[in-house]
Amino acid sequence: MDESKFDPGYGIGLLPNWSDHGAAIDQLIMILHIFMVVLFVAWGIFLAYCLIRFRQRPGHKASYQSATSKLPKYAEVAVVLFETFLLVGLSFPIWSRYRLQKPDPEKALNIRVVAQAFQWNIHYPGEDGKFGPTRPELVNNAFNPLGVDKKHPDSHDDFWSVGTLYMPKGVPVVADITSKDVIHSFAIPVLRVKQDANPGLVTPVWFTSTQTGKASIICSQLCGVGHSRMSGKVEIMEPADFDKWVAEKKRPFKPKDKKPANAQLNIEKLTKGASS
Ligand SMILES: [Cu+2]
């Protein structure tokens, strides 16, 4: 793990893109910024022209008649057409391409991200790939922040992480985003991911990192007095290191069956499966 890679490049300009879908989003942001610069400069020149051209001068009286030229109407139509093109021609295709390409759950790491004021809880399903059910009355912030029903058979190999999302490089991650209390927003800037976390609603997002490193998870929705400290971390590892982390992860409770003591998600296998 390269420790120096934590949150690289905050400053002027776009953050480095670590995700495989981020290039198209960055391109759209760049195009929009270029158009906005053109608009800003054009309107600035027009404003300066009006200030000079229509300044107060002796012998000139203000005219209170509106413009008779058709130019403003044409300009308005052009702006509407152009903005329609931005939306329908540029933004919709990028968004629909992303939303229609949900990774195959068999070849992805499936996790749940449960926001709460003011922390991120990451729920991993373990070897069986099934998330144990959760119940509000079982929530214990110190020992069971997700309220996982430990008696349920699907929960025997579940584990969780508070504040840090551990994930492998090169493997799609499908995250079901929800919230325990108010509306938060799950955002990983370097992975170009942002999704509102709504209580009572599960919204999936997916992302694949092209490199290892550590970066911030932030809450992009003003969610209360502790909003500013609702930051987490994403730690992206080589698939083999991720498997090791999973194996080392102590189970929060004893399994009821005879499966090996440590859950293995076999991410290496997934990576091979994805590339073949
Ligand atoms: Cu929040």
Would you say 196 and 181 are in contact if contact means Cβ atoms under 8 Å apart?
no
What pLDDT shows up at residue 10?
67
Mean pLDDT of 60-78: 86
**60 C-alpha to center of ligand 1: Å?**
59
Among 135, 161, 165, residue whose Cα is nearest residue 150: 135
**68 C-alpha to center of ligand 1: Å?**
52
Would you say 267 and 239 are in contact if contact means Cβ atoms under 8 Å apart?
yes
**54 C-alpha to center of ligand 1: Å?**
50
What would the pLDDT profile of 155-205 be if each residue is shown by its tens digit?
Answer: 888 889 999 999 999 999 999 999 999 999 999 999 999 999 999 999 999
List C-alpha distances in Å: 175 to 166, 197, 211.
12, 11, 18
Q: Which domains does the chain have, with CATH numbers?
A: 22-53+71-100 (no CATH), 106-275 (2.60.40.420)
**228 C-alpha to center of ligand 1: Å?**
8
Lowest mean pLDDT among 127-131, 229-233, 254-258: 254-258
**223 C-alpha to center of ligand 1: Å?**
5
**199 C-alpha to center of ligand 1: Å?**
12
Would you say 145 and 121 are in contact if contact means Cβ atoms under 8 Å apart?
yes
**229 C-alpha to center of ligand 1: Å?**
9
- Of residues 87 and 259, more confidently modeled: 87
**65 C-alpha to center of ligand 1: Å?**
52
**234 C-alpha to center of ligand 1: Å?**
16
Structure tokens at 67: 């413009």
List C-alpha distances in Å: 77 to 69, 73, 82, 119.
14, 6, 9, 47
**121 C-alpha to center of ligand 1: Å?**
12
The overall average pLDDT reported for the chain is 85
Residue 186 in 3-state DSSP?
Answer: strand
Mean pLDDT of 220-225: 94
List C-alpha distances in Å: 224 to 146, 182, 197, 220, 231.
20, 9, 14, 12, 13
Among 128, 132, 129, 130, residue whose Cα is nearest residue 144: 132
Structure tokens at 31: 């195009």
What pLDDT shows up at residue 223?
94
What pLDDT shows up at residue 5?
57
Strand pairing category for 193-197 and 184-188: antiparallel
**224 C-alpha to center of ligand 1: Å?**
7
What pLDDT shows up at residue 62?
84
What pLDDT shows up at residue 15?
87
How far is Cα 232 from Cα 249, in angstroms, rounded to an integer?
19
Mean pLDDT of 250-273: 48
How far is Cα 179 from Cα 199, in angstroms, rounded to an integer?
4
What pLDDT shows up at residue 128?
83
**273 C-alpha to center of ligand 1: Å?**
36
Q: How confident is the model at residue 270 (pLDDT cuts 50, 70, 90)?
A: low
What would the pLDDT profile of 137-153 be if each residue is shown by its tens digit?
Answer: 999 888 899 999 988 88
Mean pLDDT of 61-89: 88
**194 C-alpha to center of ligand 1: Å?**
12
**219 C-alpha to center of ligand 1: Å?**
5
Structure tokens at 247: 């194996």
**188 C-alpha to center of ligand 1: Å?**
13
Residue corresponding to tokens 């295709």: 93
Q: How confident is the model at residue 97 (pLDDT cuts 50, 70, 90)?
A: confident
How far is Cα 232 from Cα 193, in angstroms, rounded to an integer?
14
**275 C-alpha to center of ligand 1: Å?**
36
**206 C-alpha to center of ligand 1: Å?**
20
**116 C-alpha to center of ligand 1: Å?**
7
B/e letters for 57-75, b = 16+ CB within 10 Å, e = fewer, are eeeeeeeeeeeeeeeeeee
How far is Cα 276 from Cα 274, in angstroms, rounded to an integer?
6
What pLDDT shows up at residue 262?
40
**246 C-alpha to center of ligand 1: Å?**
27
What would the pLDDT profile of 4-40 be if each residue is shown by its tens digit?
Answer: 556 666 677 788 899 999 998 999 899 889 989 998 9
Quote the percentage of the chain above a pLDDT of 70.
87
Task: Answer yes or no: is pLDDT of 230 > 90.
Answer: yes
**186 C-alpha to center of ligand 1: Å?**
8
Mean pLDDT of 212-222: 93
**196 C-alpha to center of ligand 1: Å?**
9
Q: How confident is the model at residue 70 (pLDDT cuts 50, 70, 90)?
A: confident
Would you say 264 and 127 are in contact if contact means Cβ atoms under 8 Å apart?
yes
What would the pLDDT profile of 106-131 be if each residue is shown by its tens digit?
Answer: 889 999 999 999 999 999 998 888 89
Strand pairing category for 119-124 and 159-162: antiparallel
